[in-house]
């Protein structure tokens, strides 16, 4: 076997190993969800899923408010992504292109907010949300998650705008374009990969968030799936198969969103690689 073939084989093997490590937790949840009680406590773990037990997913959806939990998680994640990216684009553009008093301090404060854990913000946010009647509502959860993830989204997009040549905007100004037009027509298309990356970060944060959700949401039908799954854990026993089935269904939308956004990230990164 020649040298290039050996190198290609090693690369393929390496990719398959990394892919296996990444996919195995999802596969293990699927196998566990389809395992019987005897398989769960057997001396040798079951590695092949028992497809005759696929009804456990139907039973899991029928148990409690699983469908509502998944819907609530999707609403909160999409709402947080829209709020944080929608506000992060103009904020990142302003920090990159405009000079104003306190600009450096604003950037430092945005960076320092990422050093604060969510648990430290729960008490003041709870008091604030109680005053404005935002407790036990998905809108309040979207605002809390959006405010928490907005600084990192804005800083990511600021760095992306920094990489856009100013000459493009100067050409636009010659044609009479206003700052908003420059942002929408020139910068947004060019920083699309960074917008996609920021969207993935915001979506995953809101999708997996637990502290705000368990504190601000009381009604079971309003809880996101991250909180609802924990409710299956009981003092006497825990339905492992049901928990794994719900966790598997909870993971799939996040994976699907990542794969959807990844396509745009790759497309944006390679768009200007070849000149025609």
pLDDT in tens, 142-175: 999 999 999 999 999 998 898 888 888 888 888 8
User: pLDDT by residue (tens digit) across 114-130?
Assistant: 788 888 888 889 999 99
Placement of tokens 């089935």 in the chain: 245
pLDDT-derived band at 270 (thresholds 50, 70, 90) equals very low
Q: How far apart are CA 207 and CA 75, in angstroms?
A: 9
Q: What separation in angstroms does the CA of 163 have from each of 96, 97, 103, 166, 225?
A: 10, 11, 18, 9, 38
CA proximity to 230, closest of 205, 213, 216: 213
User: Is 153 buried (19+), middle (13-18) or exposed (0-12) by CB count in 10 A?
Assistant: buried
Q: Is the pTM of this model over 0.85?
A: no
Question: What integer pLDDT is reported at residue 86 of this predicted model?
Answer: 95
pLDDT at residue 271, as a whole number: 45
Q: How confident is the model at residue 231 (pLDDT cuts 50, 70, 90)?
A: confident
Please provide the average confidence, as pLDDT, over all residues in the chain: 84
pLDDT for 1 equals 52
Of 171, 190, 166, 232, give the one whose Cα is nearest residue 33. 232
- Taking the C-alpha atoms of residue 78 and residue 76, their distance in angstroms, rounded to an integer, is 6
User: What would the CATH number be for the domain defined by 64-269?
Assistant: 1.10.3720.10
In whole angstroms, give the CA distance from residue 95 to residue 104: 9
What residue segments make up the domains of the chain, in order of their start? 1-53, 64-269
Distance of CA 255 to the CA centre of its chain: 9
- Write down the pLDDT at residue 77: 94
For residue 36, the number of C-alpha atoms closer than 13 Å in the C-beta half-sphere is 7
């Amino acid at each position: 076997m020649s040298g290039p073939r050996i190198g290609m084989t090693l690369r393929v093997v390496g990719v398959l190993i990394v892919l296996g490590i990444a996919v195995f937790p999802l596969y293990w949840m699927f196998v566990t969800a389809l395992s019987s009680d005897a398989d769960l406590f057997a001396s040798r773990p079951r590695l092949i899923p028992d497809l005759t037990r696929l009804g456990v997913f139907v039973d899991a959806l029928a148990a409690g408010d699983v469908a509502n939990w998944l819907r609530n998680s999707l609403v909160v994640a999409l709402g947080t992504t829209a709020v944080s990216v929608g506000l992060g684009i103009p904020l990142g553009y302003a920090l990159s292109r405009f000079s104003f008093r306190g600009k450096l301090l604003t950037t430092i404060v945005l960076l320092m907010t990422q050093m604060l854990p969510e648990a430290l913000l729960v008490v003041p946010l709870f008091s604030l949300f109680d005053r404005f009647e935002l407790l036990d509502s998905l809108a309040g959860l979207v605002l809390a998650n959006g405010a928490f993830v907005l600084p990192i989204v804005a800083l990511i997009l600021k760095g992306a705008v920094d990489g856009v040549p100013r000459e493009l905007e100067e050409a636009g100004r010659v044609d009479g374009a206003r700052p908003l037009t420059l942002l929408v027509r020139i910068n947004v298309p060019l920083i699309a990969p960074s917008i996609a990356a920021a969207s993935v970060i915001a979506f995953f944060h809101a999708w997996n968030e637990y502290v705000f959700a368990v504190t601000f949401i009381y009604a079971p039908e309003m809880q996101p799936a991250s909180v609802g799954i924990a409710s299956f854990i009981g003092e006497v026993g825990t339905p492992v198969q049901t928990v794994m089935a719900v966790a598997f269904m909870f993971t799939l939308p996040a994976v699907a969103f990542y794969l959807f956004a990844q396509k745009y990230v790759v497309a944006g990164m390679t768009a200007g690689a070849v000149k025609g």
